[in-house]
Amino acid sequence: MIPHIVFVDRDSLPVPVPAFGFPHRYTEYAASTPAQLIERCHDADIIISNKVPFTAQTLAALPALKLLAIAATGYNHIDVEACRRQGVAVCNVRHYGDETVAEHAFMLMMALMRNLPAYQRDVAAGVWQNAAQFCHFGAPIRDLQGATLGIVGSGGIGQAMAQRARAFGMTVLFAERKGAAVVRDGYTGFDALLARADVLSLHCPLNDETRNLIAQPELMAMKPGAVLINTARGGLVDEEALVAALKFGQLGGAGFDVLSVEPPRDGNPLLKARLPHLIVTPHVGWASAEAMARLAAQLSGNINAWHAGERCNRLD
C-alpha cells in the first residue's frame, strides 16, 4: 500500500523539500490547528510537523500513523512517550542551524553590549544634532574583549557560540545543570556562573526541568548590568520577571528571539515593554536561506531512511 505523507504546517518551512525516494501520496496544508489534525491526518502513515502539537489524545486517534517527522530540532510539542507506546517512530532535524542560531545570538549580544538600539533611538529623536560635543554620550558602551560569556547548553549551538566569543577575546564558561550536586570538569556551577557572567546566553532545550530556568531569583543573582540572550525557547525565562529586572536596572539588556507563546496573538510582556535595552526578534534565528535548505534536506533524508529501514534521527 502506498504510504500517505501529510505535512500539517507547510508554510513554516518556506523552501523546497527534496523529493521523497519512494512511491507515496502527498498532502500538505499551509497551517493546521490541533483541532484539525484528526480529520486531516486520519489515514496518514507519515506526518511532517514543525510546531503543531501532538498530544497522547491526538495520537490515539491516528491509528495509521507510523512516523512523525519533526521539521525542527525542538520536540517539546510532541508527546514522545505516547508515540513510543503507540509504536510511532519520531525523528527530528539536528545541527542544521548551529552556526546560524549562534550568529543570531552573537548579533544580539554585540548590539546590546554596545547599546545599539538606544543610540539608534537617540539619533532618530534628534539628540545628536543638539549635542554640545562632536559625539553624543548616552547609554554605556562595553567591549566584548575581556568580558565573560556564560552559556547554558553545551550542544552544537552553544559550542558555536563559544567559538565566536573566544575569537573576540571573551572568557567562556559553560553552566552546570541548575541544582546539580556535582560540577563536572569543564563546567561552572550554575549559581557561580550567574554571578560571574557579563552575558548569559541560553542554548538548552525546554522541558520540565528547564521551564522558568531563569526567574526572579536567578535574575537577581546575575551580575548587575549583565545581558541575557535567549535564542532557545521562550519558556526558559519568566518574562514578567525579566521586564521588571530590565526596568529596575538589574540587567543591562536582553535579546530574545523566542517567546513563551508564538505567535504572540494575545500580546506578551516583552512586546509591551518598549525598552531601548530590549531586542525582540520573531523567532528567525534559524531562518537563513542556507539553514532552511539544510533542514529541508535532512527532513527528506530522515523520511527516506526510515522508509528504507535505515538509521535516521530517531527520538523514540
Q: Show pLDDT as tens, one digit a residue, over the chain (316 residues).
A: 899 999 999 999 999 999 999 999 999 999 999 999 999 999 999 999 999 999 999 999 999 999 999 999 988 889 999 999 999 999 999 999 999 999 999 999 999 999 999 999 999 999 999 999 999 999 999 999 999 999 999 999 999 999 999 999 999 999 999 999 999 999 999 999 999 999 999 999 999 999 999 999 999 999 999 999 999 999 999 999 999 999 999 999 999 999 999 999 999 999 999 999 999 999 999 999 999 999 999 999 999 999 999 988 888 6
From its phi and psi, is residue 230 left (phi > 0), alpha (psi between -120 and 50) or beta? beta
Catalytic entry in 94, 136, 142, 283: 283
- What pTM does this model have? 0.91
Superfamily of domain 4-96+290-307: NAD(P)-binding Rossmann-like Domain (3.40.50.720)
Task: Determine the pLDDT at residue 315.
Answer: 85
Task: Determine the pLDDT at residue 222.
Answer: 98
C-alpha cell at 63: 491509528
- To the query of whether residue 39 is one of the catalytic residues in this protein, the response is no
Phi, psi of 301 (to 5 degrees): -65, -40
In angstroms, the Cα distances linking 233 to 37, 80, 290 are 24, 18, 22
| CATH class name, domain 98-280 | alpha beta
- To the query of whether residue 233 is one of the catalytic residues in this protein, the response is yes
- To the query of whether residue 262 is one of the catalytic residues in this protein, the response is yes
Nearest-CA neighbor of 93 among 293, 258, 253?
Answer: 293
Residue 296 contacts residue 19 (beta carbons within 8 Å):
no
Catalytic entry in 209, 240, 262, 310: 262
Catalytic entry in 164, 233, 277, 294: 233
β-sheet with 46-49: strand ranges across: 25-28, 4-7, 46-49, 67-70, 89-91
| Domain extents in the chain | 4-96+290-307, 98-280
Q: Do domains 4-96+290-307 and 98-280 have the same CATH topology?
A: yes
